[in-house]
Structure 1
Amino acid sequence: MKHSSTMKQQLQKEISLLKSLSRHEARKLGCGAIAGGCFLLLVFFLAVFSAFFGPVHDYELKLNIGTDLFLAKIESPLVQESTMKPLSESLEMENKTRKSNQPEESREAKNVTVIERKDHLQSENLNSLETKTSPNMTRTEMKEETISVCDLSQRRSDFCYIEGDIRVDRDSSTIYFVNPHAEIPSDGFWKIRPYARKTDQRAMSSVTELKVKPLMNSRDLPSCSVTHSVPVIVFSTAGYNGNLFHDFSDVIIPLFLTSHHYNEEVQFMITNGKTWWRNKYGKLLRQLSHYEIIDFDNDHRVHCFTKLRVGLTEHKEFSIDPKIKSFNGYSSMQEFRNLMMDSYSLSRRTVTQIRDGEKRKPRLLILSRNRTRKLRNVQETIKLSKKLGFEVVVADDGMTRDLSRFARIVNSCDVMMGVHGAGFTNMVFLPAGAVIIQIVPYGRLDWISTVFFARPAKDMKLKYLEYDISMEESSLIEQYPSDDPVLKDPISVHRKGWNVAAGIYLFRQDVKLNLNRFKGVLVDAKKLLHQKI
C-alpha cells in the first residue's frame, strides 16, 4: 500500500510538471518532435534508396604495348542510364553547371584546401631549416619541432621531399638521410614506389619499391662514392610506359610539374629505366635538366645529395590543374606545351585564322589505326575531306616511330581526327586553336573519351569536336545479332565489369563512318578555324 501511495504521488508530480510548462516550452517540444520525425524519415529514405546512387568504381583499361595487353586502372562513374550522359552537351556547359551549383565562397575554400595539400612538404621544408633552428630556440624546442618528409595521402602518387645529409644506396634500395628535425616513421622507414598511378596494382607491381630511412647520426650512413651539388628527383619508368598516353600522363607531365621550376639545375635518377625510353624523350629531358641521368638499376655507387625528391607530382589524367599551387607557384598545360615546342623546335605556337575568301587549305591529320578500332573507310574519308577543302595527311605506324619528325608533322596541321586511342596524345604538338575530332566507338564510351582527351584538349587551348558513332557504323553488327545486349543495351555489358566491356567495345570493334553524317563534323571544324582564337 505504501508503495502504491508513493507511485501515485510521483505521478501527480509529473502531471503537475507538465501542466506548468508554458505555451512556449510546449511549442518547443512540438518542434523538436517534428524535427526528430523528419530526421528519422530522412534516414529511412537514404537507407532505402542508397542502392540507386552508385559509388565510383575503379575500372581497368586494356592497353596495347607492343604485342602484350596491359590493364590500366581508371576511375569511372557507375554505368547506369542516369549517369551516362552523351557529350553532345558541351564541356563548357558541364563546367558552368558545376560552378552554378556551388557557391563562390565554397569553391574558393575548396581550392584553398587542395592547394594546401599539394606539395606542402617541399614548401614547408624550404623554410624549415631557417625557421626551426632559430638561435632563440632551446635544444628541447628544436627536438620537438619536426619536418614532414613523406606524403602518402595523395590519390595518385606518393612522394617524399628530403633535405639534409642524403645517401642513395642502390644495393639496399634505400635512401638514407640525417636531419635532426625530420619526423621519424613508426616503422623506422617509409616505403615508396615512385610512379603516378599508385592504386593500380598491376602497374605498380613492376615499379621498384624504395625505402626512405632517417638515421640519427651521420656516422651510420654509407660512405659516399660520388657527391652531387644539385637536387635530385627519383622516379620510375615502369608501369604502363611504352604506351604513348601513359608515357605522358604518368611520367612526363608529372616530371614537368615536379622539376621545371629548378630551371634545369636538377638531376634525374630513374628506376626501372629503359634505354629506348631515355632516347625517345631525350630532347625533352634535356630541357628539364643539364645533368646526366643516373641509372639507379645499374649504378652501384652510393650517391650523395643535400636535397632529394622521390615520387612525382600529378594533378589529373594527361593534364595540369592551373588552380593548384605547388611551392614554386602555379603551372599550366600551356607552359608544358611551350616546353614541347622548345624541345622539338616547333615553329607554330598558334594556328593562323582562315579569313573569309582565303584560298589556303587547312591541313587535316588522320590518325590511322592498324590493329584495333580501325577506320575501315579511310580512303573514302580522305576523298570527302579533300572535297571539303582540306589538305590531308595520314599518320601510319611508320610515321609515328620517330617522335621528333612526327611532332613537326603534327605541328604543321590545323585539325587532328581519328578513332579514340593513344594517338591523340600527340595533340601536345598541335598549335593552340587547332581542332580535335575524336571519333568515339559504339558502346557508351563517352566518359572515357571525356576524361582522357576532351578535357585535356580544352586545357591545351584546343577546339574540340566529338563524333559518337551509331550502331550501324560499328563492326559489332557483323558479330552479334540485332537483339544482343552488346548492341541493344551496352550499359548491361558495362555492369559485368570493365574487362568485359573493354574487350568488346575497344578491342573487337572497327568503325565505318557514315560519311553523310560525318560530313557535318568536318564542316564544323572548318568553321572553327575561321573563328578568332
Structure 2
Amino acid sequence: MKYDSFFARSFSKHEQKKLGIGAFVSCFIVVVTFCILFKPEIRHFRVETVKKDAEPMCNVLEPLSDYCEIKGDIRVQGNSSTIFVMSHSFNISAENNSWTIQPYPRKGNAGAMSSVKSWTIKLVQDRENIPKCSVYHGYPALLFSLGGYSGNHFHDFSDLLVPVFSNSRDFNSEVHFLATDYKPWWIGKYRTLLNNMSKNKILDIDNENEVHCFPSVTAGLKSHKEFGIDPSKFPNGVSMCDFRQFLRSSLSLKRVEAIKMKGNIVTKPRLLIMSRKKSRSLLNEGDVKKIAEKLGYEVVLAEANLSTNLTKFARIVNSCDVLMGVHGAGLTNMVFLPDNAVLIQLVPLGAMDHLAKRDFGDPAGEMNIKYLDYKIRVKESSLVEQYPLNHKVFKDPSSFFRKGWDVFRSIYLDKQNVKVDLKRFRSTLLKAKKLLAT
C-alpha cells in the first residue's frame, strides 16, 4: 500500500502509463531471450517424451552381401528362421519393421543363393505375442549360411572363412557362431580355424528348438571384395595380412618369410606345382618339373581335394617359396605361403584375364605375395584338338560368356587342359627366381 501511494505521488498518470508499457516490453524481451538461449534443452526434453522412429537395421545396398547389425533385446528362433528385436522406445511402421536377407555373401548369384535359407529380422513391440527367451547368452552372435558354394576350396575361403574372420575379429573370440544350412563335414574340416575365431560351440541354428537371446547380432557377413578384405570397412582395420597371420598361428605354420635369393646362395627355392586331374590339367607337368630342377628349384607335386587334411597340406605349402598352377581352386592355397613368396597362375584360353586377376592376381598383392601370370596361347590349349582354328571358340570367347556362365564354363574350364611351351615357360620360372631376390 505504501509502495503504491509513493508511486502515485512521484509520477503522473501519463508517466505511469509509459513505465507500464516499458515494463511489459522488458519482460517480453527477457522471455524471448530465455527461449532462444534454452531452446535446445526444451526441444530435447520434448523429444525424450516422444517415441522415435525406428532406423533401418539392415544394409541391402552392398553388391556382394546383405547384412543386419542389431543391438538390444534380441531373440533368435531357429526353427522359424526369425530374429525378433524387442522395441521399447521406437515407433514401428509397416515400412521399417521387417527385413528378409540370405546370410551368404554372393548376392545376385542365383546358383549360389538357391541353396541359402532366407531369414527374417522383425522389429516388435513388447506387447506383441513373441517367443520368450529360453537360453541367455552374454556374448554377441554372428549368423551365416553354409549353403552356397561351400565345399569348393576357393569359395570356402572367399565366401566364408575370410568374411567370418573379418566380421568376428573385433570380438576377440567372445562371439557365438550361428550356422544356418549347417554342414557337419564342413565344420569338421575347418574346426581348428573356427575354434580359434570363437571359443563357443557353433550352433546348428536351424535345428534349435530353444529361443536364444543375445545382446547383439550380426546377421549376414559383411563382404566387399572377392577373396579379400577392405580394411576401411571395418572399425579395427582388419586386413588379409591379419588373416594370414591368424592362419600361421592356428595351424602352426613355421615360415613367415620366403627364401631370399642371393648371388651364391646354396639353398634351393622350393616350387610347388598344384596338380589337377579332372580339368585344366598341366599335360606336360613332368617336363616342367625337369626344367625347374635344372634351373635350381626343388620341386614338389601336390593335389588337394575334399579329403585332404587342411593342416598337413597347409604345412606343405608353407614350406615352399613359389606356387604355380592352372587357374582354379587349388591356387587358393597361396594363403599358406610365407610372405614375399611368388604365385604363378597359368591363365587358360577364353579371355579370362579379368577372372584371373580378380580371383588371384589382386588378392596376392593384399597378402604380400608376388604375382606372375602365364597366358596360354592357342597351340598350348587342348581346345585345338576339339575345334578348328577358325572357330569362334578361339576368335570370339566373349560370345560364349554372353550365353551364360554355364556355357562358358563347360568349354573353357571343364573341357580345357594345357601344355605349356617349355622354352617360353622357362623365362617365367627365371622371373620368379628374380622376384625372390628383390
TM-score by length of 1: 0.71
1:226 maps to which residue? 135
| Distance change >3 Å, CA 202–CA 142, structure 1 → 2 | farther
Contact in 1 for aligned 2:343/2:369 (Cα 8 Å): yes
Please give the alpha-carbon distance, in whole angstroms, between the structure 2 residues aligned to 1:208 and 1:489: 38
- Verify: 1:372 aligned to 2:279, yes or no: yes
The superposition leaves residues 153-172 of structure 1 with CA deviations (integer Å, 9 ceiling, x where unpaired) of 11111111111111111222
Question: Paired residue for 2:59, among 151, 172, 177?
Answer: 151
After superposition, the CA RMSD in angstroms is 1.9
What is the letter of the counterpart of residue 129 of structure 2? D
Deviation track 1:491-527 (CA, whole Å, cap 9, x = no partner) reads 4443444332222111111001110110000011011
- Aligned partner of residue 80 in structure 2, secondary structure: coil
Residue 308 of structure 1 and its aligned partner are, at CA, apart by: 1.1
Which of 354, 357, 360 does residue 447 from structure 1 map onto?
A: 354
Of 114, 124, 136 in structure 2, the residue corresponding to residue 205 of structure 1 is: 114
Cα deviation for residue 370 of structure 1 reads 0.8
* Aligned match for 1:242, one of 151, 171, 176: 151
**Structure 2: where are the runs of 5+ without partners?**
1-42
Distance 1:265 1:351 in 2: 34
Return the alpha-carbon distance in structure 1 between the equivalents of residues 437 and 270 of structure 2.
Answer: 14
Q: Pick which of 217-226 and 520-529 moved more.
A: 217-226
Aligned equivalents of 1:495, 1:198: Cα separation in 2 = 20
**Structure 1 residues 165 and 395, CA gap change in structure 2 (3 angstroms):** same
AA partner of residue 179 (structure 1): S
Distance 1:212 1:494, change over 3 A: closer
What is the CA distance between 1:144 and its match in structure 2?
2.3
Does the C-alpha gap of structure 1 residues 145 and 489 become closer, same or farther in structure 2, counting only changes over 3 Å? closer
> Are the equivalent residues in 2 in contact too, given 1:163–1:179 (CA < 8 A)?
no
Equivalent in the alignment of 2:382:
475
Equivalence map 1:246-285=2 (5 Å):
246-285=155-194
Unaligned 5+ segments in structure 1 are: 1-134
Match of 2:19 in 1: none
* Larger gyration radius, structure 1 or structure 2: 2
1:303 to 209, 212, 215: 212
- 1:465-504 alpha-carbon deviations (Å, 9 max, x no partner): 0000111111111111122121233344434443322221
- Equivalent residue, structure 2, for 1:95: none
Indicate the larger mover: 407-416 or 250-259: 250-259
Structure 2: how far apart are the matches of 1:209 and 1:360?
54
Q: Per-residue deviation at 1:192? A: 1.2
Distance 1:183 1:445 in 2: 51
- The SS at the match of 1:284 is helix
Kindly indicate whether the alpha-carbon contact (under 8 Å) linking 2:261 and 2:437 is maintained by their aligned counterparts in 1.
yes
Task: Provide the rounded CA distance (Å) in 1 between the counterparts of 2:364 and 2:307.
Answer: 20
Deviation at residue 219 of structure 1 after TM alignment: 6.5
How far 1:254 moved relative to its partner?
1.1
Contact 1:365 1:395 in 2 (8 A): yes
Mapping for residues 111-126 of structure 1, pairs under 5 Å: none
Deviation at residue 407 of structure 1 after TM alignment:
0.5
TM-score under structure 2 length normalisation:
0.86
Aligned residue pairs total: 395
The answer on whether the counterparts of 1:232 and 1:305 sit within 8 Å (CA) in structure 2 is yes
Q: Partner amino acid for 1:441?
A: P
SS in 2 for 1:196: coil
2-structure distance, mates of 1:229, 1:478? 63
Is this contact kept in 1: 2:79–2:208, CA < 8 A? no
Partner of 1:512: 419
Q: Work out whether 1:385 is the aligned partner of 2:292.
A: yes
2:3: which partner in 1? none
Tell me if structure 2 keeps the 8 A contact 1:197–1:204: yes
Residue 153 of structure 2 contacts residue 330 of structure 2 at CA under 8 Å; is this kept in 1? Answer: yes
The answer on 1:332 being equivalent to 2:239 is yes
How far apart are 1:147 and its partner, in Å? 3.7
Query: Does 2:400 correspond to 1:490?
Result: no
Partner of 1:118: none
Aligned with 1:214 (options 116, 123, 129): 123
1:364/1:413 contact within 8 Å kept: yes
Q: Secondary structure, in 3 states, of the residue corresponding to 1:220?
A: coil
Deviations 1:244-288 (A, max 9, x none): 111111111111111101111111110011111111111111111
> Which residue identity lines up with residue 253 of structure 2 in the other structure?
L
Partner Cα separation in structure 1 for residue 344 and residue 121 of structure 2: 46
Identity %: 46
Q: Distance in 1 between matches of 2:436 and 2:50?
A: 62
1:219 to 1:476, Cα distance in 2 relative to 1, 3 A: closer
Give the counterpart letter for 2:99 in structure 1: W
